[in-house]
Structure 1
Amino acid sequence: MGETLPRVKPAGWLALSVLSAVLLFVVFFIGVSAGGLDVGEVCELGGHRYDHEYRSQNAHEQLQLFPLTIKCNAEYDLVPPWTNPALAVLALLTLSFFAMALAVLFVRVRSRLRG
């Protein structure tokens, strides 16, 4: 009953932050590269109609960093559906772990200065 959780040192939180940042980069790369070099060819190989007019009218969507989208037409997106939620969660984890590293470091420094 009186068990306590082990304390994580600032380096541990920082390591978790770096790990989640690396995973964030990997997922972002997967999303960005989903269309390959020739989006039209990838769409056709996947059995989806490539609509050049739709893509040119919505070119601003294709250039944004979040949410990632590489659409063949109005109905089909080449970016896997799990990519954008994973990017959001990993970004929040990266920031949270980094904030925890700073908070634990601050508490440790403050307690050493007092004691």
Structure 2
Amino acid sequence: MGVLALAVRGQRKRDARQGTRDTRQGTRDASHGAREIPGVRGIRGLLRPSPLTALSFVAFLNAVTVWLLGFSRGGLDLRESCERDGHVFDDVWNGTHYQESQNLFPLHAKCGAAVDLVPAWVNPAIVFLLLLSIGCLYAAVHLTVRENARGNTRGRKKAHV
């Protein structure tokens, strides 16, 4: 056997002891046999209970922020808010539809039949962010229950009883 062949063979043995070997397609992880592709590890890391719970919390806080933004558009006095924005306040229309502007959801601050001070994107954004929050929380609970049902204690110490 030549010197070059012995050097390559020795490198392979060292790689086998370390658990990885470099190939032209990427780095192989000996424990799983899967190729490590840049960026994929980050996606798999998001599909765990803790990041999903954090995402759920962030989506909920954003929904509350959007709701507060929409709620504040009407101000304390709807007539003053309409006049400040350059719209005519319709007393007759507001008298018959007053309750519409007092609901907590969907948000409306109407000066008349055609003018709403709350932007059109606020109510759909609130719904989307709340659904995202519920979906992420459901996924986090589902993954936690599934891991516990399988007895997957990866990274956790078992309790001694």
- Fraction of identical pairs, as percent: 33
Cα drift, residue 65 of structure 1:
2.4
More helix by share: 1
Aligned twin of 1:71 = 110
What number of residue pairs does the alignment pair up? Answer: 113
Aligned residue type for 1:16: L
Q: Which moved more, 1:24-33 or 1:52-61?
A: 52-61
- Structure 1, unaligned runs of 5 or more: none
Alignment deviations for residues 60-89 of structure 1 (CA, whole Å, 9 cap, x no partner): 211222221010011100001110110111
Q: Give the SS at the match of 1:35.
A: coil
Aligned alpha-carbon RMSD (Å): 1.7
Whole-angstrom distance in 1 between the partners of 2:139 and 2:95? 44
1:106 to 145, 156, 159: 145
Aligned residue type for 1:6: R
Whole-angstrom distance in 1 between the partners of 2:105 and 2:75? 18
What TM-score do the two structures reach when normalised by structure 1?
Answer: 0.89
Aligned twin of 1:37 = 76
1:6 to 11, 26, 44: 44
Cα drift, residue 51 of structure 1:
1.1
- Structure 2, unaligned runs of 5 or more: 1-34, 153-161
Relative CO higher for 1 or 2, CA cutoff 8 Å, sep ≥ 6? 1
